[in-house]
Amino acid sequence: MAAAGAAVVKPGWAGDKRAIVNSPANITDPLVLFMPSGKRGRFPVGTPVLDAARQLGVYVESVCGGRATCGRCQIEVQEGNFAKHKITSSNDHISPKGPKEERYERVRGLPERRRLSCSAQILGDLVIDVPQDTVINAQTIRKDADTRVIARDTAIRMCYVEIEEPDMHNPSGDLDRLKIALMKDWGFKNLEFDFYLLPQVQGILRKGNWTATAAIHKDADSDIARVIALWPGLKNEAYGLACDIGSTTIAMHLVSLLSGRVAASSGTSNPQIRFGEDLMSRVSYVMMNPDGREGMTVAVREAISGLVDKVCAEGNVQRNDILDSVFVGNPIMHHLFLGIDPTELGGAPFALAVSGAVRIKASDIGLKLNQGARLYMLPCIAGHVGADAAAVTLSEGPHRQDEMMLIVDVGTNAEIVLGNRARVVAASSPTGPAFEGAEISGGQRAAPGAIERVRIDPDTLEPKYRVIGSELWSDEPGFLDSVQATGVTGICGSGIIEIVAEMYLAGIISEDGVVDGSLAARSPRVVANGRTFSYVLKEGEPKITITQTDVRAIQLAKAALYAGTKLLMEKQNTEHVDRIHFAGAFGSFIDPKYAMVLGLIPDCDLDKVSAVGNAAGAGARMALLNRGYRREIEETVSQIEKIETALEPKFQEHFVYAMALPNKVDPFPKLSAAVKLPPRKTVSEDGIAGDSAPRRRSREGHAARRSRD
């Protein structure tokens, strides 16, 4: 039961105005935001944080029923001025620890900054972080390594040598005799040593009875090689990290540098999401908070350090055995990880502080691996097309083949690469966070309980769906039992794409994306919602409804992506693409048919549209295991032509046409041959169907006319 006077809260994402329904009596109640879900609501002073989380549908585990004995309901208060939400969050805005919480901390221990949400009460505006290590039903991070075999030519070589013992007739130093042995046995003529090793050399050689294994780093084209680590005797294993720092999730692979096998993989949510759901929000946070850059840099580095612990534990590997690492990320993640202020990327001309490959010691950024471990970051392509897009390009290789290949990495800022061995062009397009659940009334990230597949019967307009965590459809026997542990909590990105496409195929929405209100007479699923209509996907609690505003959010996102793709096709002077690859964790779960029905991608043979998984992570792994791939992508990036969509006069025109499903002017003959598209019909903004329904002049129409003029 909600506390008396509590806000009426509907599940939703930050930024979705329908997520909060306030009455005049409670408009001044404290605003509470939960991260990383982004759900928010207003609650009276004195409301336990756990109660607020439950009312919002935020998963905070509590086994003891709020008695402060299990410790599963831990949360953290994020302090600072969160300009996007117009609030200041502070530890002063939460009640002091009471007797129960103090007893738990005394007996069981409580990590620094952690509170028990069952005991802590709301006193003012708060941004609450639900630590991922306390969440069983955490976001599903689906970024496993692929199984490709990569030819090995690593930047690290493990070299075992036997060294001549010193004697009175050969007074040369131990280090010099080690160099001679490495030159004689391994051919290294110009060897340098990391300084930290100099005091250790004599002890290591004697401990190994005058045998040792040297880890030698040689990356860029140079005659100079460097000994970065040294062990007594034979050391027959070494590891490296390949990491993709996404704006939403971070994925890491621990890889044997000697065999190439992936010893372990892990992923986590990017903790920077509490500073802003999309990239520009994070840049704004840096601009408005003096310590903003440092806070986000610390957050992402701590998350990466935590992933290192996870993969080391899974792979039974010591941190000291990790000698090399490759990192990729979009330009803003790239800069924040390196500790660079990303402010210049917040506006034209979107200047990068560094665009080329970065080669440093891992310890330079506080990453605790072997003391001599190295770190390599792939080059960025442009101001909003980063090292992750370069890694995807390296992985998929459009520059290595003759077909015209389109690569799309769908995220809050979609990165698009189009080309073949003759020419490659690239751009970014601001799709926003709609595909990740934000700005959608029932939207959420991909987690157990989220709807990920949808089908609608075109005759009855009745839906069926599947959720993450169950293999059954909602109309199959046993479905309710299979989702009992998680429930049906919302709809994630792949489900959002499918529901809008299915609504179009079933005739519920017109090609212009307007919900047909006349269908309310046929089905109780179509309901009035003010001046527009909505479609009820799921009854019960929570009730999941696709509103007219939800459809518009998806149209805006997909139109931005398609318009960017269309610009690249024009630059390539082509009207078709031969092959389409969806990159990224989200792309792995997009059904190509529904993506094309939606008009997210151009017309293409459906059997040549495929998901390639975490291609950025695969590219990072390629660069980790083979120096030649580093040189290849450095050269390729220098030749890729960067298209800035904001400066292209035809972007707006393409955007307007792309608002329609699948498109207002572009034909989709290959899609039409595979899928029966509905006949075109006119529906007014009020949801009135019929050829004679009056059509309002929309902003899109005005924009299109301006573009043509």
Which 3-state string (H, E, C) describes 43-102?
Answer: CCCCCEHHHHHHHHCCCCCCCCCCCCCCCCCEEEECCEEEHHHCEEECHHHECCCCHHHH
Show the tokens assigned to 345. Answer: 């990327």
CA separation for the pair 38, 35 (Å, rounded): 5
pTM of the model: 0.76
For the cut 60, the answer to whether the pLDDT of residue 6 exceeds it is: no
673 vs 342, 606, 668, CA distance in Å?
46, 10, 9
User: In this structure, are residues 473 and 464 in contact, taking their beta carbons and an 8 Å threshold?
Assistant: yes
Sequence-ordered alpha helix ranges (H) in 318-386: 331-338
Q: Which two tokens stand for residue 464?
A: 């069926």
Distance CA 69, CA 119 (A): 11
> With 50 as the cut, is the pLDDT of residue 523 above it?
yes
Token pair recorded at residue 246: 């996404």
What pLDDT digit, counting tens, does each position of 546-602 carry? Answer: 999 999 999 999 999 999 999 999 999 999 999 999 987 677 788 999 999 999 999
Number of residues in the chain: 709
Q: Where are the beta strands (DSSP E) in 180-310?
A: 190-193, 211-217, 224-232, 239-245, 249-256, 262-269
Q: What pLDDT, in 10s, does the model give residues 163-189?
A: 998 887 777 899 999 999 999 988 888
| pLDDT tens by residue, 211-239 | 999 999 999 766 789 999 999 998 888 99
Check whether 645 has a pLDDT greater than 80.
yes
> Who has greater pLDDT, 217 or 295?
217
User: pLDDT-derived band of residue 695, with 50, 70 and 90 as boundaries?
Assistant: very low
Per-residue pLDDT, averaged over 304-314, amounts to 96
* Residue 107: pLDDT band with limits 50, 70, 90: confident
Distance CA 393, CA 416 (A): 10
Q: According to the model, what pLDDT value does residue 3 have?
A: 41
pLDDT 10s digits, 326-380: 999 999 999 999 999 888 888 778 889 999 999 999 999 999 999 999 999 999 9
Question: How confident is the model at residue 25, as a pLDDT?
Answer: 39
> For residue 335, what are the contacts with CB-CB under 8 A and spacing of at least 6?
341, 342, 345, 352, 353
Contact 240, 326 (CB under 8 A): yes
